[in-house]
Structure 1
Amino acid sequence: MLMAGNLFLFMSFQMLIPTMPPYIKSIGASGLEIGLVTTLFSIGAVAIRPLIGYMLEYKSRKPLVLIGAAALLIITAVYPLSRLVFVLLLIRLIHGLAWGWSTTVNGTAAVDIVPNSRLGEGMGYYGLSVTIGMIIAPSLGIYLFHVTSFTNLIFISDILGLFAVVLLAAVHYRTPDVVKNTRKEDLTFSYFGSLIEKSSWYPALLSMMACFGYGTIVTFIVIFGEERGIDQIFLFYLFNAIMSSFSRPIAGKWFDRKGPKGLVLVCSSVTFVAMWVLSFAHSNLHIAIAGILFGIGFGSLLPTLQSWTLAQTPAKRRGVANGMYFSAIDLGIGLSGLFFGVIAQNVETGTLFQISSVFFLVVIVMTFAQGRRKSLTEERAVS
């Protein structure tokens, strides 16, 4: 039920990612204001997470989960009530705060339910709700935006959000004993201390690098399909979702048996190849092949990095680590849109995918370097 509730939550939100920019443009927003749609949201999400990570050190899970889901539901419903650009941007900032709250507490609640011995497998299953939501919902949102009004799109988004609230309310949550036995008075809040978890910052940094590369897919794949005359661009999302569903449990078991590093290297390599296949696509078949490869690679990469982040974090600090992980994702995608949006003015979209694929090579090099550094440290300790 937690997975299903989180899936509906992600779908409700992700439908708005590709549709908010054209909507706000239609009511007279400037280029800068269109860019702020993503930037303000990311600022809100990143800004709230240290506070939520701190609260997760001493508060039970269920109230926090339901507050976040209900806030997302209400804020989404407010969008059609104003056609003033300034008001919509303010709502977008508040939406980011609610999103940062919800993703952090939901991910932490999932970790609390999963046994430590099956962390990779369990978070792999949970991660399906995130990845499938990120894959399916944008194309659904684009379709609805073209065939109906923005108000109707918001209505459907809120229906999905309502399903999420109902399902999340029915979950039997578990709060770790160390959290139950901790009082607020026992803790000292430090904003920076709750922004970064020192024990697990490295895999979170890898997540940001990966999402920086992935951001071009979110922003430009529909435009790419129009440029190449590919009329079934949804096949990328479809096969991506299918292969993510099949590969995720396998990757999770691999993580539990052999650890994260080899898995990250394989997933990043497959994703790199997928980006290049996509960049050369001129037919629906090419798009389907790219979707298959991307589902195998990127579909397992993010959950692996999340499990790696959490596996290195003490139980009472997992809320902070989750917040750091999701902030890394938001920053990666948000900054990618701005960075590659500038480059897109001078190069073809296919070339843009090739350039952004370099960030998956960066992930490979950083993972290999971290593994090498750890091996050298262990050798020195033995000698």
Structure 2
Amino acid sequence: MLMFGNLFTFMSFQMLIPTLPPYIKSIGASGIEIGLVTSLFSIGAVLSRPFIGYMLEYKTRKPLVLIGALALLTITIFYSFSTVIVIFLFFRFLHGLAWGWSTTVNGTAAVDVVPNSRLGEGMGYFGLSVTLGMIIAPSLGIYLYQVTTFTNLIYISGSLGLVSVILLSIVKYITPDDVKKAKKEDLKFSYFGSLVEKTSWYPAFITIIATFGYGAIATFIVIFGEERGINQIFLFYLFNAIMASVSRPIAGKWFDEKGPKTLVLFCTTVTFIGMWVLSFATSNAFIIIAGMLFGIGFGSLLPTLQSWTLSKTAPNRRGVANGMFYSAIDLGIGLSGFIFGFLAIYIELGILFRISSLFLIFVIVFTLVEGKRKSITEQKAIS
């Protein structure tokens, strides 16, 4: 039930991701302002997560989940009243605050019910609700943006958000014993301490780099399709969803049996190839192939990095670790949207995608470095 509730949360939100940039462009936004659609949202999400991560150390889950879902629903409806760019961007910042709250709480509520021995598989299944929402909803959003008004698109998004509130309200949540026993007055709040979990910072750092490379696509793929004359750009998301659904359970078991390193390397390599195929796309065939590669690669990369992050974290600190992980995603995509939004003024989008793909090479390098660093540490311990 939590998976379905989270799916509708992501559906409601993600159908706006590819449509907000072309909408704000249509009302007169510049390239930098288009980039701010992503960046301001990400800043809001990053700012809110340390506070909710701290609260998850001593509060039960249900009230926090419902507050986040209701906030997302309310702010989504506000978009229908924003025809002024400054107001639109302000709502986008508020949306980021609510998104940071909701994703952190929902992810923590999920990990609370998954046994440690099956963390990769369990979070892989929960992550499927994230991936399907991230992949199916943009296709729906693009289609609605093309055939109806932006206001109707917002109302449909709000309807999906309402369904998520209903589903999440009937979930039976589990709160860890350490959290139940904890008292607020015994816990000292540190913004940095609730922003970064020291035991698992490395996979979160890798997540920033991976999502920075992906952010150019998240921001500009619809505009890219318009420039290339590809009317069926939704096929990228459709085939992404299909392949992610097929590969995710396999990737989860791979994680539990063999660990994260080889899986991260494989997923990153496939994603890199997919980005290059997309960058040369001139027809629907290229879009379909790129979508399939992204489904196999990026569709399993983020859940793998999340499971890697959580596997290195104590149960009572998993709220902080989840917040750090999602902040890493938003920070990577947000910085990418702003920087590549500026570069998009001067560079053709296909070339921009190829430049952004180079950051995936850094993911491979840092994953290999972490593997060698761990091996050296273990050898010293044996000595």
SS in structure 2 opposite 1:201? helix
Which residue number corresponds to residue 361 of structure 1?
A: 361
Partner residue, 1:19: 19
Give me the identity figure in percent: 74
CA deviation profile, 1:145-204 (whole Å, cap 9, x unmatched): 222122111110110001101111111111000000101111000011101010001101
Gaps of 5+ in 1: none
The residue number in structure 2 matching 1:234 is 234
SS of alignment partner, residue 282 of structure 1: coil
Q: For the residues of structure 2 that align with 1:141 and 1:131, how far apart are their CA atoms?
A: 15
Structure 2 partner of 1:4:
4
Instruction: Please give the alpha-carbon distance, in whole angstroms, between the structure 2 residues aligned to 1:88 and 1:221.
Output: 21
Label 1:83 to 1:109 Cα distance change in 2 as closer, same or farther (>3 A): same
1:151 and 1:206 map into 2 onto residues whose CA distance is: 38
5+ unaligned residues in a row in structure 2: which ranges? none
Distance 1:32 1:278, change over 3 A: closer
Q: Conserved in 1, the CA contact under 8 Å of 2:32 and 2:342?
A: no
Aligned to 1:350: 350
Figure out how many residues of one structure are paired with residues of the other and give that number. Answer: 383
Query: Matched residues in 2 for 1:106 and 1:217: separation?
Result: 26
Aligned match of 1:331: 331
Say if 2:38 and 2:219, in contact at 8 Å, map to a contact too. Answer: no
- Structure 2 residue identity aligned to 1:136: I
Give a deviation string over 1:98-142, Cα, whole Å, max 9, x none. Answer: 110000000000000111111000100111111121122223222
User: Partners in 1 of 2:164 and 2:263 — Cα distance?
Assistant: 31
Worse overlay, 142-151 or 191-200: 142-151
What are the residue-to-residue correspondences of 1:123-162 with 2, within 5 Å? Answer: 123-162=123-162
The equivalent residue for 2:268 is 268
Label 1:267 to 1:4 Cα distance change in 2 as closer, same or farther (>3 A): same
What is the match of residue 60 of structure 2? 60
Name the residue aligned to 1:277: 277
**1:222 to 1:93, Cα distance in 2 relative to 1, 3 A:** closer
Name the structure 2 match of 1:172: 172
- AA partner of residue 4 (structure 1): F
Is residue 2:244 matched to residue 1:252?
A: no
Distance in 2, Cα, partners of 1:332 & 1:133: 19
Question: What corresponds to 1:90 in structure 2?
Answer: 90
Task: Quote the Cα distance in structure 2 between the aligned partners of 1:76 and 1:346.
Answer: 32
The alpha carbon displacement at 1:27 in A equals 4.3
Amino acid at match of 1:203: P
Partner of 1:307: 307
Aligned-partner Cα distance in 1 for 2:21–2:132? 22
Label 1:375 to 1:87 Cα distance change in 2 as closer, same or farther (>3 A). same
1:94 Cα offset (Å): 1.6
Amino acid at match of 2:272: F
1:44 to 2:14 alignment = no
TM-score by length of 2: 0.96
Question: 1:231 Cα deviation (Å)?
Answer: 3.1
1:94/1:300 CA distance change after superposition, 3 Å: same
Deviates more, 1:75-84 or 1:363-372: 75-84
- 1:54 is matched by which residue type in structure 2? Y
Question: Counterpart of 1:139 in structure 2: which amino acid?
Answer: S
- Structure 1 segments (4+ residues) deviating >6 Å: none
Deviation by residue 1:290-335 (Cα, 9 ceiling, x = unmatched): 1111111111000000000000011000000000100110111111
Q: Secondary structure at the match of 1:87?
A: helix
For 1:163 and 1:94, locate their aligned partners in 2 and report how far apart those are by CA, in whole Å: 21
Residue 181 (structure 2) aligns with = 181
Deviations 1:208-256 (A, max 9, x none): 1111111122122223323333332222111110010010000000111
| Alpha-carbon separation, structure 2, partners of 1:350 and 1:21 | 17
Q: Is the 8 A contact 2:35 2:339 kept in 1?
A: no
User: Alpha-carbon deviations, 1:67-123, whole Å to 9, x = none?
Assistant: 100111111112223434333332222211111000000000000011111100010
Distance 1:77 1:224, change over 3 A: closer
In the aligned structure 1, how far is the partner of 2:26 from the partner of 2:280?
Answer: 32
Q: Distance in 2 between matches of 1:226 and 1:143?
A: 13
Matches of 2:380 and 2:31 in 1, distance apart? Answer: 55
Partner-residue secondary structure (3-state), 1:113: coil
